[in-house]
């Protein structure tokens, strides 16, 4: 049995990009007419987002009145090529062929169909008929980390490569500007974006990749209503309480310190932080309570600015940004947050080149 699973390759698939200001002027300024327009404009301006991606851009198509059935049909059309691009790039980066993959795990909370992405992509990309598949749905923004843990466990126990794909099309869930167009909905529309990100894990220490050392979680079930994702007749509707950062403030330091202590490390030993950029305030709270220096979360802030909050792929986009730096970090802590209210963390360590 192998003791280590290493991230040997990563790949990203992105739909067309749009400028935040153009999204506001070209669509949302009219979507939020009347008394809500001024508030909505301030939220858009302060979201920390400059550009983001949309498989279904509101500048071209207004899907806010579409039925959930119609949105799910479009999900399959748009998600398959994005997922294929991300997985293909990750396999190439890792030097692994599709028919070598032992487990293919897919995370998504923005679309459902059977046969799903796991079946369609495994077939289209030439994975073996015996490949094992896992679909993780409705975990939201933190899904990449438990997905990474599941694939890592498979790789270490079976000695075969595994692939994790996170694909989200939040643009399909634009909500109507009706009576329920509250602040939470405006925040969601100002932040969320589309992306696909994939990682390939291989057994052993690898060379120049990131070994998955540990995955941990804590759920504060007393705050379960703070973050919701409801299936409605008009797509999926986000509930996002402004109290979410306050809950993170209570739990984040202990979770990180306990994770690091199990491996003889402290916060000071971490030189790479891949924190899910749920919004500027969430990043500020994490930085403050972990007492991180200025710039420690620069990769997360850059991803938020360039890509928005893409739900589950976002923390992988941050990791990809870190590993591409001229001096990639040695010890990386990944953090992501979502419904529950749940905090997930992972410790990654760069292997020798």
Q: Which residues of 247-257 are buried (b: 16+ CB within 10 A; e: fewer)?
A: bbeebbbebbe
- Cα–Cα distance, 55 to 61 (Å, whole number): 10
Lookup: tokens for 131: 């490949």
List, in order, residues 6 or more apart from 25 with CB less than 8 Å away.
none
What one-character-per-residue DSSP string does 131-186 give?
-EEEEEES-GGGTHHHHHHHHHHHHHHH-S-EEEEEEEEGGGGPPPSSTT--HHHH
Which one of 109, 141, 166, 310 is the catalytic residue? 141
- Token pair for 154: 């498979």
Query: Is there a contact between 87 and 163 (Cβ–Cβ < 8 Å)?
Result: yes
Query: Please, are residues 110 and 47 in contact by the beta-carbon 8 Å criterion?
Result: no
Place of tokens 């993959």: 101
Q: Is 310 a catalytic residue?
A: no
Angle of CA points 170, 276, 313, to nearest 5°: 45
Q: What tokens does 206 get?
A: 């690898």
The per-residue DSSP string of 30-45 comes to HHT-GGGHHHHHHHHH
- Residue 188 and residue 248 in contact, taking contact as beta carbons nearer than 8 Å: no
Distance CA 279, CA 173 (A): 19
**β pairing state of 132-137 and 162-169:** unpaired
* Cβ-based neighbour number of residue 58 at 10 Å: 18
Which two tokens mark 184? 């939470």
Number of Cα atoms under 13 Å in the Cβ half of residue 221? 0
Catalytic annotation, residues: 141
């Amino acid at each position: 049995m192998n003791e280590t699973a290493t991230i040997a390759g990563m790949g990203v698939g992105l739909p067309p990009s749009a400028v935040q200001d153009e999204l506001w002027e070209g669509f949302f300024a009219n979507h939020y007419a009347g008394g809500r327009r001024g508030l909505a404009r301030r939220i858009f301006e302060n979201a920390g987002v400059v550009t983001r991606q949309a498989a279904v851009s509101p500048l071209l198509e207004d899907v806010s009145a579409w039925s959930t059935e119609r949105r799910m049909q479009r999900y399959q059309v748009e998600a398959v090529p994005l997922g294929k691009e991300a997985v293909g790039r990750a396999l190439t980066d890792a030097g692994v062929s599709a028919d070598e993959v032992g487990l293919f795990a897919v995370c998504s909370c923005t679309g459902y169909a059977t046969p799903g992405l796991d079946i369609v992509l495994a077939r289209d990309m030439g994975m073996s008929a015996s490949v094992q598949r896992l679909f993780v749905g409705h975990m939201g923004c933190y899904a990449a980390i438990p997905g990474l843990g599941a694939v890592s466990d498979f790789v270490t126990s079976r000695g075969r490569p595994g692939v994790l794909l996170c694909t989200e099309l939040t643009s399909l869930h634009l909500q109507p500007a009706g009576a329920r167009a509250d602040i939470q909905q405006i925040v969601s529309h100002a932040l969320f974006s589309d992306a696909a990100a994939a990682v390939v894990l291989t057994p052993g220490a690898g060379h120049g990749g990131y070994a998955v050392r540990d995955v941990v979680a804590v759920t504060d079930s007393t705050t379960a209503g703070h973050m919701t994702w409801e299936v409605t007749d008009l797509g999926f509707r986000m509930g996002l309480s402004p109290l979410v950062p306050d809950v993170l403030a209570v739990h984040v330091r202990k979770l990180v310190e306990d994770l690091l202590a199990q491996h003889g490390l402290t916060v000071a030993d971490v030189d790479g932080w891949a924190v899910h950029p749920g919004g500027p305030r969430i990043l500020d709270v994490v930085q403050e309570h972990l007492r991180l220096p200025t710039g420690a979360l620069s990769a997360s802030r850059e991803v938020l600015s360039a890509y928005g909050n893409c739900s589950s792929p976002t923390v992988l986009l941050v990791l990809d940004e870190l590993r591409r730096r001229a001096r990639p970090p040695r010890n990386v802590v990944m953090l992501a947050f979502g419904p529950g209210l749940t905090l997930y963390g992972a410790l990654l360590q760069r292997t020798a080149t």
